[in-house]
Amino acid sequence: MTVTFSDRIDIALTVNGEAVEARVPAGRHLVDFLRLDLGLTGAHASCEHGVCGACTVRVDGQAIRGCLMLAAQADGTEVWTIEGLSDTGAVADLQAAFIARNALQCGFCTPGMLVAAQELLNAGGVPDRTTIREHLSGNYCRCTGYEAIVDAIETVAIARSGRGAA
Amino acid sequence: MKASVGGYARATDLRHALDLLAASDGMGRVLAGGQSLIAALNMRLSSGDLLIDINRIDSLKGVVLAGDRLRIGALTRHAEIATDPLVAQHAPLLQKATDLIAHAAIRNRGTIGGALAHADPAAEFPACVLALDATIQVEGPQGSREIPAAEFFVDVFETTIQEGEILTAISLPIQEANERQVIHELGRRSGDYALAGLCIVRREARHRIVCISVGPKPELAIAAMARLDEGDEDGAVAALRDGLDPPSDTQASATYRRHLVGVLLQRAIADLNGATA
């Protein structure tokens, strides 16, 4: 068994449904790999210590911090960013609701917000506003004051559950 | 900032991880969930570390019931502890604690083994495992050993894990009938580290109390426990406050923290009494 450390790591993963192979520096964050190496600049690198949530992306079905996971650790995973989730239409209703409710202004936090919100809504049911707030507690927004974001997510939750369809 | 890392290796099994650690010449760092370690690397609190990624080691994952003890693999993530039926039934304190740990995206990655090895006095799991009288299992070049939680925590970010050893699992006695487990904490925002926190386990009319964020390491509040065992609730609150020497920082003064733990104990006692009324 090899007992060796590398400063360049070979990885193979899928990003937004497409197979990707790359050689990454050991300390490369997943979010920097996505942004700088793949040009997927939707997820943002901001605080870089796991506090702000702007780098939130989806890895193997879960929302995670792109600044607290190394690209080397993403080998073998399935990664989705806001670009892919937009292209497939998976979050189209959330995006429309964010616009309708003015749930973004500068938009810096929005990709992370949408990935976090999508994870909550994928759990099913209609979460109450306290649950929505709690789930988004790790995603900072400096523009909206959050109320409109909670409105938008609640609207989509109700619509997806069918109760708002009538 | 960006992490400064000396190298990375993905361990395929525990033996491989131990070999890597032995070969790292003191620069090895075990990378589990990474939710504290990578943040620290990003802030350049440490640089040149050789990371040993243990995330693929299946033997470190999952929760099993073994007789009257629950074994929780070191790589079990906070989000898994939050939803695991065995944890909910046999160690509900840990499940309750997950509600208080950071945010959903952090809980998806963070591991209980990592939280214990990191030994942040503001973290919930170190206090919980001491209140639950758990043992910590570690594996090293000379084999495995078990460390009682009461002997595991040494100081801020310091444990009795020796050079070359890896934390593999937590073993704890399952909850008895009529046992009660309660955790409370206070912070300014949801997901923040607590200004002060407290967990309490009542088993057979005996209490174990451990506070969070009020000292360099989790410790049993012996004097307060003795008062509470005697049914002296006010005496327990006074003894708890008297026995602490909490830090003052930009988040809270020592006086305020001392006040808060008393309030938290009163709330916890109310929970204990309410449930058995």
**What's the mean pLDDT in A2-29?**
94
Contact B79/A62, CB-based, under 8 Å?
Answer: yes
Give domain limits for chain A.
8-85, 91-161
Low-confidence ranges of chain B (pLDDT < 70): 275-277
Torsion sign over Cα A50, A52, A53, A55: negative
CB B223 within 8 A of CB B239: yes
Contact B39/A50, CB-based, under 8 Å?
Answer: yes
Interface check A64 vs B, CB under 8 A: yes
Contact B2/A5, CB-based, under 8 Å?
Answer: no
User: Could you write out the DSSP letters of every residue in A24-73?
Assistant: EETT-BHHHIIIIIS---SS---SSSSSS-TTEEEETTEEEETTSSBGGG
**Domains of chain B, first to last:** 5-53 (3.30.43.10), 63-172 (3.30.465.10), 182-272 (3.30.390.50)
Q: Number of Cβ pairs closer than 8 Å across A and B?
A: 117
The two structure tokens encoding residue A98? 């964010």
The two structure tokens encoding residue B59? 């033997």
* Minimal C-alpha gap between A86 and chain B (Å): 20
State percent of chain A over pLDDT 70: 96
Q: Which of B50, B51, B103 sits opposite A137 (nearest CB)?
A: B103
**What's the mean pLDDT in A144-148?**
96
The whole-angstrom separation of Cα B56 and Cα B72 is 16
What is the predicted pLDDT for the residue at B4?
Answer: 87
* Minimal C-alpha gap between B108 and chain A (Å): 7
The per-residue pLDDT of chain A, averaged, comes to: 95
Query: Chain A residues with CB inside 8 Å of B51's CB?
Result: 5, 26, 70
* Phi, psi values for residue B257, rounded to 5°: -65, -40
The whole-angstrom separation of Cα A152 and Cα B11 is 43
Contact B23/A138, CB-based, under 8 Å?
Answer: no
Strand partners, A11: A22
Q: What is the pTM of this model?
A: 0.95
The whole-angstrom separation of Cα B191 and Cα B187 is 8
**What's the mean pLDDT in A85-104?**
98
What is the predicted pLDDT for the residue at B46?
Answer: 86
What is the predicted pLDDT for the residue at A81?
Answer: 98
Interface check A47 vs B, CB under 8 A: no
Query: Chain A residues with CB inside 8 Å of B109's CB?
Result: 64-65, 68-69
Candidates A36, A49, A52, A135: best to mutate against B (most CBs of B within 10 A) is A49
Amino acid code (one letter) for A115: V
Smallest CA–CA distance from B23 into chain A, residue: A3
Q: Quick one: fold of A8-85?
A: Ubiquitin-like (UB roll) (3.10.20)
Query: Chain B residues with CB inside 8 Å of A139's CB?
Result: 103
Query: Chain A residues with CB inside 8 Å of B191's CB?
Result: 137-138
Q: Which of A1, A70, A120 sits opposite B38 (nearest CB)?
A: A70
Interface check A22 vs B, CB under 8 A: no
Contact B38/A67, CB-based, under 8 Å?
Answer: yes
At residue A165, does pLDDT exceed 90? no
Which among A29, A11, A31, A30 is positioned nearest to A21, based on CA atoms? A11
What is the predicted pLDDT for the residue at A1?
Answer: 53
Interface check A143 vs B, CB under 8 A: no
Interface check A52 vs B, CB under 8 A: no
* Secondary structure (3-state) at B233: helix
Query: Chain A residues with CB inside 8 Å of B8's CB?
Result: 5-7, 9, 26-27, 70, 72
What is the predicted pLDDT for the residue at B239?
Answer: 98
At residue A166, does pLDDT exceed 60? no
Contact B105/A72, CB-based, under 8 Å?
Answer: no
What is the predicted pLDDT for the residue at A3?
Answer: 66
Interface check A113 vs B, CB under 8 A: no
Query: Which CATH architecture fits A91-161?
Result: Orthogonal Bundle (1.10)
What is the predicted pLDDT for the residue at B277?
Answer: 39
